[in-house]
Amino acid sequence: MKQTLIILLVLIFGYGITQAQENDRIPAKGFAVFSADDTFHPHEFTRHAIGANDILIETMYAGICHSDLHAAWDEHKAHGISGIYPMIPGHEIAGRVVKVGKNVTKFKVGDYAGVGCMVNSCGHCTFCDMDKEQFCENGTTFTYNSIDRYHENEPAMGGYSNNMVVNERFAIRIPETADMKRVAPLLCAGVTIWSPIHFSKVGKGDKVGVAGFGGLGHMAVQYLVNLGADVTVFDITEEKRADAARMGASRYVNVNNEAEMKGLNNAFDFIISTIPAQYNPLMYARMLKYGKGEMAIVGLPETATINVADLAMGGAANRKVYGSLIGGIKETQEMMDYFVAHDIYPEVEVISANAAEIDKAYRNVQDGKVKFRYVIDMNTLK
């Protein structure tokens, strides 16, 4: 009798939760910009209700990616992406599951979970079928600055906030052993460099270059060193030379130092360019080995171009150049499991959840003054 009562209570209570999950919008608060030239402000809003396949994550840490600056400042117009305001950026999100929809199987309450650059896709197109949801033919919903066609076209709100509601398909399992302070940037920076390194089949003994030694670059260096590659780092400052050596790079080239730039052509099996600002991609293409080298573009400056005739005539013939955009959910999970198991993390500077702190962090990212990734401690949100 007592048992029956308990079961009954659980059923009623459980049903109540399910109802609440499916109908009630979730209150949320975070930090938004209200226009391209705005600074950050505290912002309260609601998220869509927790659907049957969704989980609610309480955000613990949110990384600040250089892409956040491009988005907040509306710098990708040339690529047909216009800022949707108010905008809460953030696509490197690590937290703890606090509620699960009734059909959720991948997570239980209390698990660590992460969200990267996407929160939904159609699930049945050519690209979703090949686990490349970022190219969904029916429209990926990105984590912010994106219309969520799966939720009545409301604008998606990112990770500089106290919570996330996301379909479990787009949530990444974070191992319990993970260092939560440092894990968030893996969700974007980690997979962004993982994906092309796998695509180009980089391996032990390969001579590789990492152009741009910031958030993405220092993740690439660590992973490439872990793979046994011989890593050369390229940047424009002396201030990071010791960091490169500490992370295992065999060589650091300050590209403003002419002497260091000699003898580098036709030398690399693979170069990953993480440079977010204007530069000359051809200079790096020339450094690739003839007939073998490949260059992956993952930094997204608006203005850097390659003249196609230069690819043939400019000392870069038979070197392949391609772009790579984050990574699919499957490879994000593979990256997460591997990186946590091998203790590969970003070096982070943790800031408190405060608008002025975020503004300051943005300025430093823009000026290349961060070593190497800012992470907002969302536990400090008031």
Residues that bind its own copies (CB under 8 A): 76, 78-79, 81, 126-127, 130, 132, 135, 199, 266, 273, 281, 290-291, 294, 297-298, 300-325
Min. distance of Cβ 247 from its own copies in angstroms?
A: 24
The distance of closest approach from Cβ of residue 258 to its own copies in the complex, given in angstroms and rounded to an integer, is: 18
Would you say 5 or 309 has its CB closer to its own copies? Answer: 309
When the beta carbons of 92 and 111 are compared against its own copies, the nearer one is: 92
Integer Cα distance of 275 and 233 in angstroms? 12
Beta carbon nearer to its own copies, 130 or 356:
130
Tokens of 253: 């080239």
Strands 320-323 and 294-297: parallel
Query: At its nearest, how many Å lie between its own copies and the CB of residue 59?
Result: 26
How near is the Cβ of 239 to its own copies at its closest, in Å?
25
Ordered DSSP codes for 81-126: ----SSB-----EEEEEEEE-TT--S--TT-EEEE-SEEE--SSSH
For its own copies, the closer of residues 17 and 306 by Cβ is 306
Whole-number minimum distance, CB 147 to its own copies, in Å? 17
Q: Which is nearer to its own copies, 79 or 108 (CB)?
A: 79
The secondary element (H helix, E strand) that includes residue 198 is helix 189-199
In angstroms, what CA-CA distances link 304 with 144, 233, 266, 279? 25, 20, 22, 6
| Rounded Cα–Cα distance for residues 151 and 153 (Å) | 5
Going 225 to 231 to 235 to 237, the CA torsion angle's sign is positive
Judged by beta carbon, residue 147 or residue 306, the one nearer its own copies is: 306
Distance CA 210, CA 208 (A): 7
Q: How far is the CB of 294 from its own copies (least distance, A)?
A: 7
- Quote the least distance from Cβ 185 to its own copies, whole Å: 18
Orientation of helix 189-199 relative to helix 215-227, angle to 10°: 50
**Structure tokens, 114:** 């992460």
Give whole-number Cα distances, 197 to 207, 219, 324, in Å: 13, 11, 10
Contacts of residue 239, defined as CB under 8 A and 6 or more positions apart, other chains included, come to none
* H or E element, residue 10: helix 2-23
Cβ 288 to its own copies, closest distance in Å?
A: 10
Output 45 or 73, the one with its CB closest to its own copies.
Answer: 73
Q: Is the dihedral of CA 35, 39, 40, 41 positive or negative?
A: negative
Q: Which is nearer to its own copies, 132 or 151 (CB)?
A: 132
Write down the least CB distance from residue 195 to its own copies, Å.
9
Nearer to its own copies, 311 or 336 (CB): 311
Closest CA to 315 of 345, 344, 347, 283: 283
Least Å from the CB of residue 305 to its own copies: 4
In angstroms, rounded to a whole number, what is the distance separating the alpha carbons of residues 368 and 193?
A: 19
Nearer to its own copies, 82 or 103 (CB): 82
Residue 298 CB neighbours (<10 A): 23
